[in-house]
Amino acid sequence: MAEILDNLSEFFGKPTVKHGFIVILILLSSFILSRILKIILKRAINLASKKLQVEPTQYNFLYYAMNLMIILAALILVFYSIPGLRSLGITLFASAGFITAILLFASQQALSNIISGVFIIASKPFRVNDIIKVGDQRLGRVEDITLRHTVIRDFENRRIVIPNAVINAEIIINSSITDELICNFVDFGISYDSDVDKAMEIIARAAVSHPNFIDHRTKEDKNLGVPEVRVRVIGFGDSSVNLRAYVWTADHSAGFVLKTDLFKSVKEIFDREGIEIPFPYRTLVFKNPPESGQPK
């Protein structure tokens, strides 16, 4: 028995066997760590995907990227654990580092978009189906979120693809982050000779009768007699008194339909009631009137 133990000790004490055992241990540990990482990452991605309503398959590359990091770490340990390979490992990793630096420099924009996509997933400034406006872009509904870009569908049914790095650098207006109810500003102009009170009453009545209108008043507002739709004079134009109606709807889509319908119905009522929607007048003044007999 003692002889067997001595033989085993001598066998495992050989540098080749010892180094081989270390390599196997490192590779086995890397494999186990990779499997554990896959399980944890899969659960985290599935949870995030449910909250963001995004397909989890779009984030599978995260697992492969982290898995690659584990493999690189394992190779570093393998080269470092074998003295004869340390110098070769330093040369290989120096070359790999140089190549990696070149690749990173060449793909910095793509990496910027990916990192920005991770930040969007983590901070959740918007989700799929949210109504948002990014910078000077048109208002639209978020249709898809990937780690590279975000797709927004505007109300003309056009897809706007915006890189995530651009979104992170812009101001985002999210109309769905708390309450989807929208207060729509509907503006009208009437002539200075028209009855302002009558025009305001017509606008309010037309707005309340629209099927998309929502009474946003609280119980206290109703007790105080606050009108269902507020119509105010907001200024004086060159040829018009400018009125604005504040009309609530369920969302932007309903608000767009309401505004277009109100423009038509209010115009028709104004025509019947003799309320003029003005257009600019221009008066020409001749400083030196033409002499008699000359063409005017």
Query: Which residues fall within 8 angstroms of residue 137, CB to CB, at 6 or more apart?
Result: 152, 160, 162
Q: Average pLDDT for consecutive 10-residue bins of the chain (296 residues)?
A: 46 56 78 78 63 50 66 73 65 60 54 62 73 81 79 86 81 74 90 92 94 89 89 90 93 88 94 87 71 57
Query: Which residues fall within 8 angstroms of residue 22, CB to CB, at 6 or more apart?
Result: 78, 81, 82
Write the DSSP symbol of residue 289: P
**pLDDT at residue 65, rounded to an integer:** 65
Give the domains, in start order, of the chain with CATH numbers. 2-106 (no CATH), 125-174 (2.30.30.60), 182-273 (3.30.70.100)
Q: Which residue has the tokens 């995260």?
A: 62
In contact, 181 and 131? CB cutoff 8 Å: no
CA 288 to chain centre: 61
203 vs 196: CA distance, rounded Å: 11
**pLDDT at residue 100, rounded to an integer:** 59
The model's pTM is 0.48
261 vs 210: CA distance, rounded Å: 8
Tally the residues of the chain.
296
148 vs 123: CA distance, rounded Å: 16
Residue 122 has, within 13 A of its CA and on its CB side, a CA count of 7
